[in-house]
Amino acid sequence: MTMKKAAALAFVAVFAGVAIQATVAQAATAVIKSDFESGADGWGGRGNPDALETVAVSGEEKHGGAASLKVSDRKTTWHGPVRVLGDELKSGAVYDVSAWIKYVDGPAVASFTASAEFDGKSGSRAYRNLSSANVPKGEWTKIEAVLTVPDDKDLDKILVYFETRYKADNQITPDDTVDFYLDDVLVVKRTKVIAIQEDLPSLREVLAGKFDLGTAVSPELLDAYNPHRRLITKHFGALVAGNAMKPDALQPKEGEFTFAAADKIADFGEKTGMRVRGHTLVWHNQIPAWFFTDPEDPTKPASKAQLLAREEKHIKTVVEHFQGRVESWDVVNEVIDDTGKLRDDAGGSKWLGIAGKEYIEKAFIWAHEADPKAQLVINDYNLESNPAKRQATYELVKELLAKKIPVHAVGLQMHISINYPRIEEIRKTIELFASLGVKVLVTEMDVSIYESESAPYMAPSTDILLAQADRYRDLFAVFKEAAAKGVLDIVVLWGSADDDTWLDDFPVAGRKNAPLLFDRDLQAKPAYWAIADL
Ligand code: XIL
């Protein structure tokens, strides 16, 4: 064991006592327990009356007992079994959802999702994907998810349902609408009270005068009941929306802007004196299909003029809306592919093919016109680990600057892992971009405990957590250096605690990860101590 590890372990031992006091466990109560041995137990189909899938108890397959619930005649990915969650809907109540799924005909593997629908008294409908699991053909597979009741006075009813991975109706193949069986569904209301450790040093204070530490959030984490809210205000000095400011969230239909969820984050930042970053204006993911199609005939692509006009309107409306509340924007996200070329159709982006490289330049110009004070950032992943991509991004920024395009900073996403890339590569990357005279930001950092995509699920052992702490310590030392040189003034983590990380489902659906500073119960991990100790 290294000295560093021994020191971190000592901290863990000292503070374990605090962690235990902070969480009070009581018995949990099951609110749904459906084994389908004596009927459908309130489960039905989600489809509209005119396209109803068939949901019925069947003896063909069973996880336990003699029957399961069979769903057939599905026409779309969201057709599947649904049931109202009983019980009172206390805001902040947490439910653990689990179920077994199997299908016998179809692709070798299919991805299933456990989701929730929130119905408002006013008629509103909101949907949340809770978690997904890869189900191999012919094998009963467990899917597990956590459902938290939002803080919403209008809330009338919550429904729990299961579906296959979303695809637009015009892209559906028979693989997306396989018949499937559901069994042994369990929804348990958690009665464990999660409280944060109030007596820990605040990271916000520890890092004061060096750089600000930020975190990605979803709006419900900021609800008054939610313990994340306290964790975030105690330790973090900056916020970014994990999803709520992406094009599909802000302009789902052409011309219809929906700002409520994103406003909640921006307002919270303003109220609490946290810096707020905007993510992201232009991206090839999480952008509605209408951007790229002909308004007269959606089977045809948009023209260059149409796409650029939509780009301008989106950027200007959004940046103006958040002016004064959002200080920095990821203007373009992931525009270079992994081979170092501008991302084109083969790389999943329709921007380049329709509009040419101009869409990148125009994005910065329009954002600058909308808010001349905002910091404008080009953001990407693997810049530290992929030399071709790094060099191409360097050349692109250099070229934009030569053309006097207002690019102010390079954002390093830094979705990295415990052993990769080397610290030296990270330092070199920061220095390379700084040499262009732009700032460098760390925009989405998390430190996966896995060495590769093929590594199987593991519960994080003490050794792993200590290695992760070493890694965070080394990374923060590099950031401190860059901050001292005036190159970097913010490091944003893609989440705050391990109960809320996109890496639980990426790049492997259902493989739980533990990449952040606090654990699933919001208690400090060794990685926290590595930073608190800086
Ligand atoms: C992720 C979100 O965290 C997920 O909730 C969502 O399902 C997919 O997108 N790079 C980015 C972020 O720029 O926008 C991505 O966020 C993570 C990778």
Q: Give the model's pLDDT for residue 70.
A: 97
Catalytic residue list contains 444: yes
Q: How far apart are CA 237 and CA 235, in angstroms?
A: 7
Give me the residue label for tokens 């270079």.
336
Among residues 330, 444, 499, 504, the one annotated as catalytic is 444
Q: Give the model's pLDDT for residue 186.
A: 94
Q: Give the model's pLDDT for residue 87.
A: 64
Tokens of 100: 């077994």
What is the band of 465 on the pLDDT scale with cuts at 50, 70, 90?
Answer: very high
DSSP string over 167-235:
--GGG--GGGG--EEEEEEEEEE--PBP---TTSPPHHHHTTTT-EEEEEE-GGGGSTT-HHHHHHHHH
Residues having CB closer than 6 A to ligand 1 are 242-243, 333, 413, 444, 502
Average pLDDT over residues 13-31: 44
Catalytic residue list contains 334: yes
Residue 7 predicted with pLDDT over 50: no
Residue 79 predicted with pLDDT over 70: yes
Ligand 1 centroid from CA 503, angstroms: 9
> How much of the chain exceeds pLDDT 70, in percent?
93
Q: Give the model's pLDDT for residue 86.
A: 72
Instruction: Read off the pTM.
Output: 0.74
What's the chain's average pLDDT?
92
Give me the residue label for tokens 């699991």.
133
Ligand 1 centroid from CA 279, angstroms: 10
> How much of the chain exceeds pLDDT 90, in percent?
84
Give me the residue label for tokens 């520890």.
206
Lowest pLDDT segment from 17-26, 167-176, 191-200, 481-490: 17-26
CA 85 to chain centre: 25
| Beta strand 180-189 pairing with 94-102 | antiparallel
Among residues 334, 384, 498, 500, the one annotated as catalytic is 334
What is the band of 501 on the pLDDT scale with cuts at 50, 70, 90?
Answer: very high
**Residue pLDDT, tens place only, 429-452:** 999 999 999 999 999 999 999 999
Average pLDDT over residues 18-45: 71
Average pLDDT over residues 177-202: 91
Residue 8 predicted with pLDDT over 50: no
φ/ψ region of 382 (left if φ > 0, alpha if ψ in -120 to 50, else beta) reads left
What is the band of 153 on the pLDDT scale with cuts at 50, 70, 90?
Answer: confident
**Residue pLDDT, tens place only, 320-371:** 999 999 999 999 999 999 999 999 999 999 999 999 999 999 999 999 999 9
Ligand 1 centroid from CA 290, angstroms: 21
**Residue pLDDT, tens place only, 476-488:** 999 999 999 999 9
